[in-house]
Structure 1
Amino acid sequence: MSVFSDDPATPGRPFGTDYAARQGADEVDSRVRLHVRRQVDELVQGRLDPSVRRQMSGTIRGHWSTRRGVELEVLETSNGQETLVVGGELLVTARSWADPAIQGYLTRRRLERVEVGCPELEDRLVRLLTTGTVRPGYLEDTVDELRRRGAAASLTHITPLAGVLKPHSASVPTIGTFEDYGTHPTGDGSGANVAVIDTGIDGTLRSDGWLTGIERRSDVPATHADEANVDPLDNDPDDGFLDFSAGHGTFVSGVVAQVAPTADIEVYRALSTAGAGSEIEVACALIRAVRDGADVVNLSLGAQTQYDQPSLALAAALDVVREIEIERAREVLVVAAAGNFGDTTPVWPAAFRRVVSVASLTADLRPSAFSSRGSWVDCAAIGEGILSPFVTGEQSPDFTPDPESFPENAFARWSGTSFAAPQVAGAVARLMHERGLGAREAYVQLLATGTPLPDFGRTFSILPGV
């Protein structure tokens, strides 16, 4: 592969045609192209068609209730969309909780403090559960009152896979073994550590070498269940078909591996195969990943929130990340998908200033109709018909009228901002290796090669799409 190019004569193409040449981008057959167009159309419908949104949220709510015994509730956001929150639960910052008046009010509202779930958030965030049956809207009214009193409070949001689930992925021919794919030229730095926080990694090792270097953790003690990282694939429900978002973490990891073959990839499971986890679970995984030494963290997930306010759990986690950076004198770059909502409403965690938010482009570098956008978006990469390793199994006919069957060593094409973000994460990791740079310095150099596009930040052509 050629080295990084910041030639002004080729703006927006930091690695030239490295990846297009290896993927046979001009040889995609009509069946796959049609399938990708269907993916894109369904992502757009997710915003415009209430019935599609109800189906998606219903899938998540049903699986959450079955597996956890807790109901999720649907709230309307400022833009008329829906967001999911954990029923009977709210969050306040530790600073707000320290106010005796706030604490007394919450006690009178029959809310009881419980553990947050990870030690480093216990002194920053307070998680409260209702102690009895309450009327609909009770906690919403409680949060409204807390906000009027100047407290930082929120319901506990669910952070799905970048806003809208992707129900289709298209089976495609392999691009060969990982060994044949090739590595980058010897650089000045070692391989960067990239953490992928997602649905986990496929537990079955492939015979073509792709993703075989990623550690699988399944046999962990019950007291450390959050450390398991294997994607169960068929779990919600166990019906012989791949679950709604099965293989998402594997696919995202494959995107990183294609862009940065020398990267050391670590996968953390914070989302179920139904495609969702709570903001607390994602926040705890983020802290674990950085504590474990991640240079770059990829989050192909996100949510719009009530009042459009930042996630309290993720804000607290980012504060911890900053303290770890200072402690170790080493910066960490957090990259997140901008979301598939098709509007300018902020999506969290992407909209945090300390997070690199990545939107989606078409294969010819135009804005994807489904992609979230706005002044809070930093950059964009192609997110339609991205090619990557997938998992073995069959799609459920409940999710698509034309289910695909994926063989061993499968590759697939998938669409969404979920697959634009890991290209940027991988590009940063590649530059760290080639130029011996820190994560943020590498990102700054990458950003300088991008082409500006209103509401999409700097745009890049890295992996080809369809």
Structure 2
Amino acid sequence: MTAFDPRIDAKFQSQWDAVRIAALDAGIDLAFSAELSGNRTTPLYVYERDHVLVRGADAGEVTLRNRSWERVDDDELPGIHRYRIGGDELVPDAVERVNREFRAGAVTPNHLVSICPVQLCPADEPAPLPVTASQVPYPPKRDGTGGQGVQVDVLDTGLSPGYEVHGWMAGIEEWHTCVSFGPTGAIKEYAGHGTFVTGVLRCAAPGTSVRSLSIFQYAGATTEYQLGRALLAALNRKPDIISLSAGGSTANGLPHIALEPFFTELTRPEIRTLLVAAAGNDGSDHRFYPAAYSADAGEAVVSVGALRYDGEGRACFSNHGDWVDVYAMGERHVNAFPVGLYSYVDPQRDDLTCRFYPKSRLYSACSCVTMPPQGAVVAFRGMARWSGTSFATPLVAGVIADYMSSKPEQDPRQAAQAVLGTARTIHDADGEVIKALDYT
């Protein structure tokens, strides 16, 4: 267990070791940057220790000035190179120095990208259904074959064994299997995330052709370099929609440079693939990438925030701002999950108040106040209740796919704009005007 400054957020501490150890097992050593304000230390971003990313156009000059740096990629991501830095200099210091001496933005950390935001935390952890509850999804599965003829790639943690027992999950093209259980046989944290996300998508569009890919293999995380390669590979397969329930923060607040090759291709006039991406669970208006590319990529990207359980406002955890295109149900979804025992990782709030709005300014009985205590072990029977922008995202992707199958003359981006045009405008409790997409 890593020793921590007691002023660092307890939820971040509960997640850090799992992510760090999983990445280390794959040869990726992680660190995080934080700032101290008063009596609180706030993690800003997580990155690969001793490695940086350099734009190809700048690589020659940058490495000429830093002869101890060693290039360790093999042209796997066009225009972006990964380097191991030499000496005792820390990555944030090296990035700041080189960008000051050479050109702002030429070098960045290789940031961690996660199915959770910088705090490495989902909105909540999955909860089992009561024994007396029926094993049916919510929002419910639509009747018919909506989405037929539409191809969706889900980039997530992959599918957990046994997903086939759920009728709405039949016929999914499984490219990678999720390693769902740890050495003790218990369900690993985040192991069911890709299964749950895919289940939500299939409920909204039962006829959709789905490819499920396991990208976030480090306890629900990967590096931006690896994600850039995965997104580019997905785009080359020419799916109609890419559903991505992940993202992260960067050192300079700008988009990840390793995703630039993907977005360069995505915004080419002849490309019609649509990226539907989660806005993140920080409860913040700070831009969360890649969803925040929606502000610059036109109709190529739809960024999705989460509505609270009653649909009358945004969920407390949902990121928000003018870069979020639409909000959909994101709290207390019910869908497919592995069978087995699960031990809760996150600390429960002692005063049972909202983590983001302690005075319950938005609404009461939010996800923050309904979590089991840390360390509690519970049994899952193949279904779970879970909250997050992660699950609002495939719901929107599924609604768009369903619409596409009813309007075959429309491409994914045209369909997305048509669907967003049906969203109602609501005034949130804190005064923000948002677009809410109802699921019917």
Do the structures match in fold with TM over 0.5?
yes
Contact map agreement 2:305 2:392 (CA 8 A) in 1: yes
Instruction: Give the secondary structure class of the aligned counterpart of 2:167.
Output: coil
**Deviation digits for residues 30-85 of structure 1 (CA, Å, limit 9, x no counterpart):** xxxxxxxxxxxxxxxxxx971221222232112222x1243211112799443110
Residue from 390, 410, 419 that aligns with 1:418 = 390
Query: Cα 1:56–1:455, aligned 2, differ >3 Å: closer, same or farther?
Result: farther
Q: Which has the higher contact order (CA 8 A, sep 6+)?
A: 1
Residue from 82, 85, 88 that aligns with 1:134 = 88
Equivalent residue, structure 1, for 2:366: none
Query: Cα 1:117–1:104, aligned 2, differ >3 Å: closer, same or farther?
Result: closer
Residue from 29, 42, 63 that aligns with 1:103 = 63
1:394 aligns with 2:350: no
CA RMSD across the alignment: 2.6
Paired residue type of 2:310? D
Instruction: Give the secondary structure class of the aligned counterpart of 1:64.
Output: helix
Distance 2:141 2:85 in 1: 54
1:359 aligns with 2:315: no
Residue from 157, 169, 174 that aligns with 2:126 = 169
Residue from 278, 291, 299 that aligns with 1:337 = 278
Distance 1:215 1:292 in 2: 14
Unaligned runs of 5+ in 1: 1-47, 218-228
Query: Cα 1:336–1:280, aligned 2, differ >3 Å: closer, same or farther?
Result: same
Contact map agreement 2:22 2:218 (CA 8 A) in 1: no
> What is the CA-CA distance between 1:90 and the residue it aligns to?
0.5
- 250-259 or 448-457, which moves further after superposition? 448-457
Instruction: Give the secondary structure class of the aligned counterpart of 1:258.
Output: helix
> What is the CA-CA distance between 1:125 and the residue it aligns to?
0.5
> What is the CA-CA distance between 1:319 and the residue it aligns to?
1.4
> What is the CA-CA distance between 1:344 and the residue it aligns to?
1.1
Contact map agreement 2:216 2:222 (CA 8 A) in 1: yes
Q: Summarize the alignment of residues 317-336 of structure 1 with structure 2, pairs less than 5 Å apart.
A: 317-323=262-268, 326=269, 329-336=270-277
**Deviation digits for residues 81-116 of structure 1 (CA, Å, limit 9, x no counterpart):** 431100111001112225x3x231232xx2111216
Paired residue type of 1:268? L
Paired residue type of 1:446? V
Paired residue type of 2:376? D
Query: Cα 1:288–1:105, aligned 2, differ >3 Å: closer, same or farther?
Result: same
Contact map agreement 1:77 1:305 (CA 8 A) in 2: no
TM-score under structure 1 length normalisation = 0.76
Equivalent residue, structure 2, for 1:253: 198
Equivalent residue, structure 1, for 2:14: 55
Contact map agreement 2:161 2:177 (CA 8 A) in 1: yes
Distance 1:364 1:176 in 2: 19
Answer 1 or 2: which has greater helix percent.
1
Distance 1:152 1:77 in 2: 23
Instruction: Give the secondary structure class of the aligned counterpart of 1:363.
Output: coil
Equivalent residue, structure 2, for 1:33: none
1:232 aligns with 2:194: no
Distance 2:36 2:108 in 1: 15
Equivalent residue, structure 1, for 2:96: 144
Contact map agreement 2:232 2:261 (CA 8 A) in 1: no
Paired residue type of 1:439? P
Residue from 195, 204, 207 that aligns with 1:262 = 207
Distance 2:232 2:36 in 1: 30
TM-score under structure 2 length normalisation = 0.80
Unaligned runs of 5+ in 2: 1-6, 347-373
User: Percent of counterpart pairs with the same letter?
Assistant: 27
Residue from 72, 76, 92 that aligns with 2:34 = 76
> What is the CA-CA distance between 1:232 and the residue it aligns to?
0.8
Paired residue type of 2:85? T
Equivalent residue, structure 1, for 2:110: 156
Number of matched pairs: 383
1:379 aligns with 2:307: no
Contact map agreement 2:174 2:211 (CA 8 A) in 1: no
